[in-house]
């Protein structure tokens, strides 16, 4: 496994975030992130410190990823990654919490989404993301 493959595994199994979210967090294009994870493109060294800081990845886990050692061999990885995930989530809340607090329509939207079953929630959120992408593409931003 390469670093990109290891990173994909860590993102999927421990951070539980999308590839798109990781790309946004690292300031890279989604297609570029995909190429890193699928080994079409080598992962740039300058991004490694940003990954470690953004996701609070423990040193031994990051070293295992770089040295191409199986992440599953590191135990108790789950406890350390839970701490990393909690830190990331706190940062997300710190960054966007005031937006939720100050936007009544966003609060109402979240309440409506919360009332849906999983399947309908996923359909709605997927549709909203597609609509936002369309608006983004139309506005040229």
Cα–Cα distances (Å) from 132 to 86, 98, 136, 139, in that order, read 28, 21, 6, 10
pLDDT at 29: 92
Q: Hey, what are 92's tokens?
A: 């997300």
pLDDT at 65: 86
Angle at 35 between CA 34 and CA 37, to 5 degrees: 65
Let me know: does 54 contact 95? Beta carbons within 8 Å.
no
Above 60 in pLDDT, residue 4? Answer: yes
**Average pLDDT value over all residues in the chain:** 84
Above 70 in pLDDT, residue 27? Answer: yes
pTM of the full structure? 0.55
Give me the mean pLDDT over the 108-120 stretch. Answer: 88
Per residue in 44-61, pLDDT (tens digit) is: 999 999 999 898 888 888
Give me the mean pLDDT over the 15-19 stretch. Answer: 89
Task: Please state which CATH number belongs to domain 3-97.
Answer: 1.10.260
pLDDT at 83: 65
Higher pLDDT, 88 or 132: 132
Domain spans in the chain, listed from the N-terminal domain onward:
3-97, 103-141
């Amino acid at each position: 496994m390469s670093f990109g493959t290891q990173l994909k595994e860590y993102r999927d199994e421990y951070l539980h975030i999308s590839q798109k979210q990781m790309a946004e967090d690292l300031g890279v294009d989604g297609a570029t992130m995909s190429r890193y994870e699928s080994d079409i493109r080598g992962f740039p060294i300058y991004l490694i410190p940003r990954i470690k800081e953004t996701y609070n990845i423990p040193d031994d886990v990051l070293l295992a990823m770089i040295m191409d050692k199986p992440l599953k061999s590191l135990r108790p990885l789950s406890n350390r990654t839970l701490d990393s995930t909690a830190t990331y989530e706190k940062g997300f809340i710190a960054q966007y919490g005031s937006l939720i607090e100050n936007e009544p329509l966003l609060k109402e939207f979240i309440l409506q989404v919360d009332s849906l079953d999983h399947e309908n929630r996923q359909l709605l959120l997927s549709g909203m993301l597609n609509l936002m992408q369309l608006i983004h593409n139309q506005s040229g931003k």
